[in-house]
Structure 1
Amino acid sequence: MSDTGSPANKAADDAPAPTEHLNIKVTDNNNEVFFKIKRTTALRKLMDAFCERQGKLPSSVRFLFDGQRVQATDTPDTLEMQDGDILEVVQEQIGGGC
C-alpha cells in the first residue's frame, strides 16, 4: 500500500516553494520605488538603479535594512529578505564629532 495519498504527504506537497524573485520597496521618505529582483542578485544593481532614477550620487546615501547598513555585495538571500520587504535610504552624514 502506498502513502502518497495520505494527508501528511499532501500537506508537505502543498507547501509553497520559495519564489525566485522578490518585490522590494526602496524609500527615502519622499519617494517609493518598487523593484523585482532575484534572490541571488547583488543589491548593488538595485542601489545604483535607485540612485540613477532619483538623481542622487551613490556615495551620498546609505541603504538600510532593518536598521543595518546594506553592503553592495549583499543579496536578498544573505540578508534573509522576504517578498515585500523595505529598504530605507538615508542621507550620509560625515562629521559631528569634536
Structure 2
Amino acid sequence: MVSSSTTLSASTATKKSRSPTPQKKITLTVKSQQDGREDVYKIGYNAHMKKLMDACCTKRNIEKATVRFIYGTKELKPRQTPAQLTMKDGDFIDLVTYQGGG
C-alpha cells in the first residue's frame, strides 16, 4: 500500500515562551475505514488536531462535515492535542465517512 507523509507545524505565535528544545513532533497515520487508504502526518505534540483534520480533508478533497476522526473509541475534537490524548508516535486515527440517510 502506498502512503504519503505530510508535516504539520504549530503556529509561530508562541515565540515569547522560549523553550530549550524544539517542539516535539509525532507521526500519526489516518486510515480510511471506507477504502483502507492510509496517510501519514507529522504533527507537533501540542498542536491542535484541527491542523491534521484540515490537512487530511484537503488532501482527500472531502468536506469536514461528512467525516469523523476516531482515536481508540472516541471522536477527536479540533481543539484537542496529541499531548492531551496521550498519543504515541505511530498511532492510528480512523477516518469514518457518514453514509447519509434519514
TM-score class, shorter-chain normalisation, is: 0.7 to 0.9
Please tell me the residue identity of whatever aligns with 2:60.
Q
Mean CA deviation greater in 24-33 or 54-63 = 24-33
3-state DSSP of counterpart to 1:46: helix
Structure 2 residue aligned with 1:54: 60
Identical positions, percent: 31
Q: Return the index of the structure with the highest Cα Rg.
A: 1
1:24-59 deviations in Å (ceiling 9; x for gaps): 000103211000111000000100100111111001
* Residue 91 of structure 1, CA deviation: 1.2
Partner of 1:76: 82
Calculate the aligned-residue CA RMSD, in Å.
Answer: 1.7
Aligned length: 78
Deviations 1:1-36 (A, max 9, x none): xxxxxxxxxxxxxxxxxx811000001032110001
Pairs within 5 Å for 1:1-98: 20-29=24-33, 30=35, 31-92=37-98
Give 4+ residue runs of structure 1 displaced > 6 Å after superposition: none
Q: Which has the higher helix share?
A: 1
TM-score, normalised via structure 2 length: 0.70
